[in-house]
Chains A and B, each alone.
Chain A
């Protein structure tokens, strides 16, 4: 299974700050009602690293690249990047959806992964 990924966030109904779904109250104004927003199809690379000492869950991989990106609405996300080559801060990427590992219970883990735009 591999496809286009939609990155979702929660927009605070009071102050408009966009944050991850895990916060039950807005990090800026403490309000607790949100609307779901879908991030833009493309994003900008803010930083990246090639990790050569992965945690146990990624025991089958010698290395992978992680990046932090920012979408047009200001929302940020972290994920793997599907290449180690020709990466540069400020370049444009798009999220795709794919399997990234088998976890320690041997279940397949799927997540968004970023891919450079040709």
Chain B
């Protein structure tokens, strides 16, 4: 199997980007990654575009074919990869496989989504909910936030954890996002509170009080409130992948993708033996660790899929950083902050960087590349040599982990 290196990265600003459509975003991230890779006018063998629902959100199909035309990569192969909120991770896996197998030497992977123009109440919730089981769950009115609410209550009850610890994850991710110039929210929760006070929307004596107020932080799927849930965002991120044997021809400090794992779990969420266990993550991260000949103790920094803040706690356990039931407490104790035992989501995670569905899995890998290249700026994790991601599709029923390390 050929070794696969990352030689270029690109990342648009995430957020409510009124002036840009999906193709603008995909092109911007792609061209930035190509420029970063120093590949000049080289031809690419393959292009993979990860996007969950451009057909529904943007009346656009054939986005991969359209992209290669727009940025002049014809006659490169081009595929659109769809795997719900894990479309980005799946697209990187496809690019990895193309190079590892010897079918390709130079590959562009870009993930993106454009969603904030949709204003119909419940439309995005309903569309995302179409990934849930059509007989056993969807007719009862489930949505992804409702699964997160069910998971949170079961977790707090089983492990004697506190909701405040889950809120601490949101506080930490907003603190990191404030240091990321590409994040959707470059504000701490304290900044949100101060701004609300200045606008005369209320008065709170502490962030804790602000987060417990039904007006400033309404319940969405109890016990989860607004600040426990990621925003709807626009954005794109891209990586240029290359056969590692020739990577240094283009880039002095390439990053190696040394492990990739993917696994599935029951489509019917309530059929799982224990809703608080993400079995697909246990299996896919184990595959990634084994491929890279590494373990959880070798990881210096992680980008996990906190679409709901409870997920970061549960994922930090099932990916092997903490014992089962101790992830939320570890976050509360500061072990996952930049400078902590295992920094998680220095980018701000989905909560603060934002979650343009198909972009997320690629953006996670781009953030790890910044960290491993020591380009993390104010959010740089010291001694970041090895990192891992968790990109979560469906409600934990299709998960991808990608392990990266500095190439020696």
* A contact set with B: CB distance below 8 Å: 19-22, 27, 46-59, 64, 66-68, 76-80, 89, 100-101, 109, 111
Kindly state the interface size class of chain B when it binds its partner.
35 or more
Given the interface pairs A47-B153, A58-B141, A111-B140, the reply to whether A52 lies near B271 with Cβ below 8 Å is: no
Q: Which of B128-136, B349-357, B373-381 participates in binding chain A?
A: B128-136
Question: When the two chains form the complex, which single residue of B136, B139, B140, B221 contacts A50, counting CB atoms closer than 8 Å?
Answer: B221
Q: Is B145 an interface residue (CB 8 A)?
A: yes
Does more than half of chain A's interface fall in helix, strand or loop, or is it mixed?
Answer: strand
Q: Per a CB cutoff under 8 Å, which of A53, A68, A76, A100 touches B143?
A: A53
**Residues in chain A near residue B275, CB distance under 8 A:** 46-47, 68
Q: 8 Å CB contacts to A: which residues of B97-141? A: 120-123, 125-126, 129, 133, 135-137, 139-141
List A contacts of B266 (CB < 8 A): 27
Contacts of B125 in A (CB 8 A): 53-56
Task: Determine if B145 and A51 form an interchain contact, defined as CB atoms under 8 angstroms apart.
Answer: yes
Decide if B122 touches A49 in the complex (CB within 8 Å).
Answer: no
B396 lies within 8 A of chain A by Cβ: no
* B207 contacts the other chain (CB 8 A): no
Are A51 and B271 in contact (CB-based, < 8 A)?
no
Given contacts A51-B220, A52-B219, A78-B142, 18 further A-B contacts (CB under 8 A): A20-B135, A20-B136, A47-B150, A48-B150, A49-B146, A49-B149, A49-B152, A51-B221, A52-B221, A53-B125, A53-B221, A54-B141, A56-B125, A68-B150, A77-B136, A78-B140, A89-B153, A100-B140
Whether A57 touches B126, Cβ cut-off 8 Å, given contacts A49-B150, A64-B141, is yes
Identify B139's interface contact among A48, A76, A109, CB under 8 A: A109
Question: Can you name 12 A-B pairs with beta carbons within 8 Å?
Answer: A50-B221, A53-B122, A54-B143, A56-B126, A59-B122, A66-B140, A66-B141, A66-B142, A66-B150, A67-B150, A78-B142, A101-B141
Question: Nearest residue in B to A110 (C-beta to C-beta)?
Answer: B139
Does any Cβ of A come within 8 Å of B218's Cβ? yes
- Whether, in the assembled complex, B245 has its beta carbon less than 8 Å from a beta carbon of chain A, the answer is no
A59 to B149, CA, bound (A): 20
CB interface residues, B 256-275, toward A, < 8 Å: 266, 268-271, 275
Q: Is the CB of B137 within 8 A of A54?
A: no
Q: 6 closest Cβ contacts across the A-B interface?
A: A49-B149, A47-B154, A56-B122, A55-B126, A50-B222, A56-B126
Establish whether residues A78 and B137, one from each chain, have CB atoms under 8 Å apart when the complex forms. yes
A53 touches B220 (CB 8 A): yes
The residue that A52 contacts in the complex, of B121, B129, B135, B218, with Cβ under 8 A, is B218
Q: Which residue of B lies closest to A27 (CB)?
A: B266
Q: Which residues of B contact A100 (CB under 8 A)?
A: 139-141
B139 contacts across to A, CB distance below 8 A: 100, 109, 111
Q: Which residues of A contact B249 (CB under 8 A)?
A: none
User: Is B157 interfacial (CB-CB < 8 Å)?
Assistant: yes
CB-CB under 8 A from A54, the residues of chain B are 122, 125, 141, 143
Interface centre among A22, A27, A66, A89 (most CB of B within 10 A): A66
| Contact pick for A47, options B141, B157, B218, B220, CB 8 Å | B157
Are B154's CB and A46's CB within 8 A? yes
Interface string of B365-378 (1 = CB under 8 A from A): 00000000000000
Tell me if A50 and B129 are in contact (CB < 8 A): no
A59: chain B residues at CB < 8 Å are 121-122
Neighbouring A residues of B133 by C-beta, 8 Å: 22
Q: How far is the CA of A22 from the CA of B121 in the complex (A)?
A: 31
Residues of the B chain whose Cβ atoms lie less than 8 Å from the Cβ of A20: 135-136, 268, 271
Q: How far is the CA of A67 from the CA of B151 in the complex (A)?
A: 11
Query: Do residues A22 and B154 form an inter-chain contact, with CB atoms below 8 A?
Result: no
Chain B nearest CB from A53 CB (Å) reads: 5
Residue pair B140, A80 in contact (C-beta under 8 Å): yes
A contact residues around B136 at 8 Å (CB): 20, 22, 77-78
